Amino acid sequence: MRPAGGRANGGAAPPPAAGPRAPAAPRSDSLGTPPARTVVEAAVYRDGHRVATPGTLAATYRRLREEADGSMAWIGLHRPSEAELVSLAEEFDLHKLAIEDAMEAHQRPKLERYGDTLFVVLRAARYLDAPEEVEFDELHIFVGPDFVITVRHGTAPDLSAVRRRMEAAPELLALGPEAVLYAILDAVVDGYAPVVAGVQNDIDEIETEVFRGDPEVSRRIYELAREMVEFQRATRPLVVMLHALMAGFDKYGTDEELQRYLRDVADHVTSTSERVDGFRSALADILAVNATLVTQQQNAEMRALAEAGFEQNEEIKKISSWAAILFAPTLVGTIYGMNFEDMPELSWAFGYPFAIGLMAVVCVSLYLVFKRRDWL
């Protein structure tokens, strides 16, 4: 029989004995709609086999106390209430800083040890085909000597599939909470593979759009680059976390078979991180090429406009030249068409030939001037 009190955490004094607690009252939104269930699934395992499936946190605590040493509780939560997290903290002696982090959904991936308890934050990713976007969800994990608590703030990863996989391999599940942590890490890292494939396909499409001159491609490159920054923030710390776990194999007596599994996960996440780094470099290069192509296109358009403007100026010159040439006879004819009596040229015998000759001389002179200046 297990003692009724909380579990020790790194030599700290255990809290006072706590009896079974009633589950937190269900929450509802302002419209009175029943909320989603926060305790997704809770089970107690012994020697790799499920021995109980309690319906509440209090029942899980009670059943775990009743089991012999070597049993383990695996509790899966989805956006739990503060009261539920406080209940878990009191029962399993979880550090208050870890509980504060678990209440917030915007934590960086990290691995922290509080006595005998590990607190792990992971960023799961999934590729959405319809909008061609990458969505990131957050997962918090508490791993103790006889318990695993998962707190999801999104839909990924599918921990029910992880649980089924582990229950189908009781020899692996019998290795304890560390084996469950490995399975969750493996699921998160395996979930990166479809994302990598989707992003690779997006980059191929973007390259085609760049050389096709799609005006929306710059926006798509920018959005994908931002997603790769988030992807990088999810994978890079995970590489460090797994190496930290491997560094503690000897100190914490990790099973050799589990060590091999964790090394395999570390290899996969390292490969994924390198692919993400490559994607960021490729997107930076594509953005530079796109900027060059846009500049070239703008230069070509400016050159075409300049040529069109030059041709337009040439036409204006011709029109202006002919307008000036035709204006000269019009001016002379207008002056002598005013019908004033005191105009000496009107009674002059050579007045008409003089006027015509004057018109011709002015027109020819203007024509020669404009021709010499290449206006005609």
So what's the pLDDT on residue 143?
A: 92
Q: Can you give the pLDDT at residue 196?
A: 92
Residue 372: the pLDDT is 84
The tokens for 233 are: 């923030």
Q: Per-residue pLDDT for 280 more than 80?
A: yes
* Confidence label for 249 from pLDDT (cuts 50, 70 and 90): low
Q: Strand, helix or coil at 283?
A: helix
pLDDT given at position 148: 93
Q: Give the tens place of pLDDT for each residue, 8-44.
A: 343 333 333 333 333 333 433 333 333 456 778 889 9
Quote the mean pLDDT of the chain: 80
Q: b/e map of 159-175 (b: 16 or more CB within 10 Å)?
A: beebbeebbeeeebbbb
Mean per-residue pLDDT, 56-64: 88
- Give the per-residue SS3 of 204-258: HHHHHHHHHCCCCHHHHHHHHHHHHHHHHHHHHHHHHHHHHHHHCHHHHCCCHHH
**Token pair for 94:** 């979880």
**pLDDT of 142 over the 90 cut:** yes
**d(Cα 332, Cα 363) in Å, to the nearest integer?**
11
Residue with more model confidence, 19 or 86? 86
Give the range among 5-19, 108-122, 250-264, 334-348 with minimum mean pLDDT: 5-19
| pLDDT score at 250 | 65
More confident residue, 132 or 10: 132
Catalogue the E-assigned strands of 83-203: 110-114, 117-128, 133-143, 147-152
**Is residue 1 a contact partner of residue 66, using CB atoms and an 8 Å limit?**
yes
Q: What percent of the chain has pLDDT over 90?
A: 8
289 close to 297: Cβ distance less than 8 angstroms: no
Helix (H, G, I), strand (E, B) or coil at 154: coil
Higher-confidence residue: 37 or 182? Answer: 182
Residue 102 exposure: Cα atoms within 13 Å on the Cβ side: 30
pLDDT of 81 higher than 90 = no
Averaged pLDDT for residues 86-115 = 86
Residue 295 pLDDT > 80: no
